[in-house]
Structure 1
């Protein structure tokens, strides 16, 4: 898992480098960019992912306390909040396209889609992983003494959260 997380962080570091190079070459476009996006959507993503991560942290805590059913309930909450991310993305993309924010809208929008769609892919992988740890939790495969798979998933999910916490201000807040 740590190799996978390292690869993910490396991949996003390269994408952030692309962002900063583009921003350095087009500062006026990037300064005006956040006003073109929906701050409500960006805030919604942030709340969904952080709440989902909070649920995952509680799930790990419950498993450590040998409370498998509580762990499964926390994981269900994590799944519901995690699914909020692609739902908001669908609504936001429709809104963006209706407002002319497509691939021809300039370097800011292209960079925005580049980073956020890559992040969405990682969220989907995380949701698949979440389904897997929910299945394993539901079948009793984890215990207080042996739940390394759950902890590995939690590390991945929190990494995805941290990456979003870097994307959010770059696109939605910073002028």
Structure 2
């Protein structure tokens, strides 16, 4: 993952990177460049998934049966909840209510932490079942897609902590919150990718 653009979008760089420079687009131009690069990366994984599924239909039909669907559902609920909390954080910063904004940011980062814990346990559980990247083509694709998403959630969770620190320092307000908005857009993108990944790996046969 390229961290250059998200770093600029979180307020480390000067005012010229503000949301005003991006017109009516939420966040700012650098974060959208970063998001487009991330979407391209995930698109490659999705293409690889469908190509592999076309060549190995039986493996992809039986592969999801070895996964814990309940853990996948739990993480889906957690990430959907995190998007709600992030949206509420944005609503409150626009109302200049920094206290409520911070509370919702803590709830969002808590969801990120829960996701990481559950996904780590899932990887461990899979290993106990003898499932790895070398088991078959399905699990090769599964591990590459989910571990890549795992890293994105980890990075974005750390970014939320950084934003909370800046919020406490008085860097964000109703008049200026482009860094927070950029992070919110990035977080929603990560959640969207999971909504696409979950049915492909856990549901479809």
Select 1:56's aligned residue among 71, 86, 89: 86
Deviation track 1:88-119 (CA, whole Å, cap 9, x = no partner) reads 01110111011011122101011000000001
Q: Does 1:90 align with 2:120?
A: yes
- Shift in Å, 1:36: 0.7
Q: Does 1:101 align with 2:131?
A: yes
Gaps of 5+ in 2: 1-30
The number of residues matched between the two structures is 175
TM-score under structure 2 length normalisation: 0.84
In structure 1, C-alpha distance between the alignment counterparts of 2:110 and 2:157, rounded to whole Å: 10
Query: Residues 85 and 104 of structure 2 are in contact (CA less than 8 Å); yes or no, is this contact kept in structure 1?
Result: yes
In structure 2, C-alpha distance between the alignment counterparts of 1:24 and 1:129, rounded to whole Å: 38
In structure 2, C-alpha distance between the alignment counterparts of 1:126 and 1:34, rounded to whole Å: 27
- Shift in Å, 1:132: 1.3
Gaps of 5+ in 1: none
Q: Does 1:165 align with 2:195?
A: yes
- The DSSP-based 3-state class of the residue aligned with 2:82 is helix
Give the corresponding residue for 2:177. 147
Q: Does 1:128 align with 2:164?
A: no
Give the corresponding residue for 1:113. 143
CA RMSD of aligned residues (A): 0.7
